[in-house]
Structure formats: C-alpha cells, structure tokens
C-alpha cells in the first residue's frame, strides 16, 4: 500500500505579551491535546514556539535536549503516538543553534536540523549557522527534512535536501514564506509543511498546490500526504492516460497540469492503490523522466 501520512501544523495564536517559557509550553501542550483528535502521524510546531512573546534574548532562550521544552514535547509525542518537530534554541558545548529536533512516537529524539541561514540579527545575538550538508531523518513512514524560516531564501539547500532523499520538508518559521514555499514545492516536486507564527500554517503538495491552510476559525491545519503518489510527465504517456481513464472511469481522478505538461492519478476509492496502477501501466515518474533525459543529453553533449 502507498504511504499516506497524516500531518498537523500548529502556530502560536496566543498573542498575550510578557509570557514565559512555562506559559508557552502549557499552551502548546493544551493545543496538542485538542488536535490529538486528528490522530496525526506527525505534528510540526513553529520556530522557537517556547519563547514567543517573552523578553528573552537568544542566549537566555537556549536549552539543552534535556531541558523543559524538549522533555515536555517528548511526553506529548509518546502520549499521542506521533512524531513532533520541536523547533527551539539549543545550547551545546560550542555555542547555541536554532534547531529543529525530531521526536519519534516513543518520545525519543531521532535527529536534528540546525538552521543553515540564521538572520544577521540572530548571528549578532550569538546564534551559530548550522552545517550546510543536508539533514535527512528516517521515520517509520519515510524520510523527512527540515528547513527553518530565513532558509527559504536559499533554494539550493532545498534541492540538496530533496536530492538526499527527503520526501517531505517541514518548515518551522516566524514568517509565512508565502509564494516562496509554493515555488519550491513546485520546482522540486516535494511536499512542504509550514508551521509559521503569522497564522497561515499550510500543507503544500508536491505540485505546489495547497492541500489545506489555517484560517481564522481553525487553530491548526491538518492534511494527508501520499508519499507514493508522484507527478508524471505527459511525454510518451498520453496513451497511458487514456487507458487509465477508460479502465477506471470515476474511480480515479486524472489531474492534468496543462501548462506544465504534467499529470497525476488520484484514486477516489480506498481500495485503489496508486502503486498498483503505476506497476500495471509501467508509469514513469516525472523525477525518473528528468533523470533519464539528463542522462541522454549528457551522453550526447559535445565538449565546448
């Protein structure tokens, strides 16, 4: 069966000033209790959610992995049998980092990502930039990656993360990212989950279209990503499109992206599995077609 992942992203809509870390953690835990009815596989929290609207500078925000923030999120992950992306300022022996810790269903930290591109003001406040190598983390549903806030402005790092195997990229952030995120999802054909401070958390599919977004009456956003449902290119596959349409009729929705020359098969019945359709019709994914085309071009390219 294809891998369908239920995702929830949460922002801080509690705008009361002069809070402390305990109040922020209490509020976040209360919200996770409420959204647990969604039965998410993974919950993404916003950047530095534990210190929002506090007077703390970065050195005083910093905690170790054994601190209150990660400890309480570990408890919630274990309680609700879900992964949690916990973005906070981490204190290490060599300094402090803007970090996204990935906590598994058992309450264990299984990986971390350090913000590669902290803002100038963060660096001035002693936040160290993370290593540039992509950080891919294995979960029980697939491989994930994280980028944080200002990282949105360096698209090459997103490509590196996709090329390294990330099947979803989570984006804890202070700002929403806007069209940047949809552009990145479209260009690199990778789902992106945005948990931002400015109340527009959203889940963006690999085609760059928004599956769901947070609104005034919705305190979090939830959606399902099928990791095994890819994009295809129309080249050499027009007959396959029509064969699938004829065989399945309304049991599948064939989404054609006219201007991009892409298409996609979206099963409309639970018992229909995209992997079976891909195998039966020997469908070539967009990624595979681009890779094959690149190989042919390189073999026939004359040295200038």
CA distance 194 to 215: 14
Q: Is 53 a catalytic residue?
A: no
| 47: nearest Cα among 79, 69, 80 | 69
Question: At residue 136, what are phi and psi to the nearest 5 degrees?
Answer: -105, 130
| 99: nearest Cα among 51, 147, 161 | 147
The catalytic residue among 82, 86, 149, 196 is 149
Q: Which residues pair with 89 in a beta bridge?
A: 98
| Block residue for tokens 């506090």 | 54
The catalytic residue among 115, 146, 167, 196 is 115
CA-based end-to-end distance of the chain: 48
Give, for 276, the enclosing helix (H) or strand (E): helix 274-281
Q: Is 149 a catalytic residue?
A: yes
The catalytic residue among 47, 90, 122, 284 is 47
Between strands 95-103 and 83-92, the pairing is antiparallel
Q: Is 47 a catalytic residue?
A: yes
Question: At residue 45, what are phi and psi to the nearest 5 degrees?
Answer: -95, 160
| 228: nearest Cα among 278, 163, 289, 291 | 278
User: Around Cβ 151, how many Cβ atoms within 10 Å?
Assistant: 23
Helices of type H across 235-273: 238-248
CA distance 12 to 24: 9
Q: Which residues are catalytic?
A: 47, 115, 149
């Amino acid at each position: 069966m294809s891998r369908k992942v239920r995702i929830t992203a949460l922002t801080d809509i509690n705008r009361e000033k002069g809070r402390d870390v305990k109040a922020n953690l209490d509020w976040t835990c209360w919200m996770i209790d409420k959204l647990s009815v969604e039965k998410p596989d993974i919950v993404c929290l916003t950047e530095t959610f534990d210190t929002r609207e506090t007077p703390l500078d970065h050195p005083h925000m910093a905690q170790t992995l054994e601190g209150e923030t990660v400890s309480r999120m570990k408890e919630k992950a274990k309680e609700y049998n879900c992964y949690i992306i916990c973005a906070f300022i981490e204190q290490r022996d060599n300094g402090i980092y803007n970090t996204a810790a990935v906590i598994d269903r058992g309450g264990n930290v299984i990986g971390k990502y350090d913000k590669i591109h902290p803002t100038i003001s963060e660096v001035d406040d002693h936040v160290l930039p993370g290593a540039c190598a992509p950080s891919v983390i294995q979960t029980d549903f697939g491989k994930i990656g994280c980028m944080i806030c200002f990282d949105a402005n360096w698209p090459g790092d997103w490509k590196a993360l996709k090329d390294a195997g990330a099947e979803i990229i989570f984006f804890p952030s202070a700002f929403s990212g806007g069209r940047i995120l949809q552009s990145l999802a479209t260009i690199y054909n990778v789902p992106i989950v945005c948990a931002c401070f400015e109340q527009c958390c959203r889940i963006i599919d690999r085609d760059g279209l928004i599956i769901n977004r947070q609104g005034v009456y919705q305190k979090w956003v939830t959606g399902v990503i099928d990791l095994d449902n890819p994009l295809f290119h129309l080249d050499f596959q027009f007959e396959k499109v029509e064969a699938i349409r004829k065989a399945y009729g309304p049991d599948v929705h064939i989404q054609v992206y006219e201007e991009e020359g892409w298409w996609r098969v979206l099963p409309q019945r639970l018992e229909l599995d995209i992997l079976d359709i891909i195998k039966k019709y020997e469908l070539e994914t967009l990624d595979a077609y681009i890779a094959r085309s690149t190989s042919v071009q390189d073999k026939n390219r004359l040295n200038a």
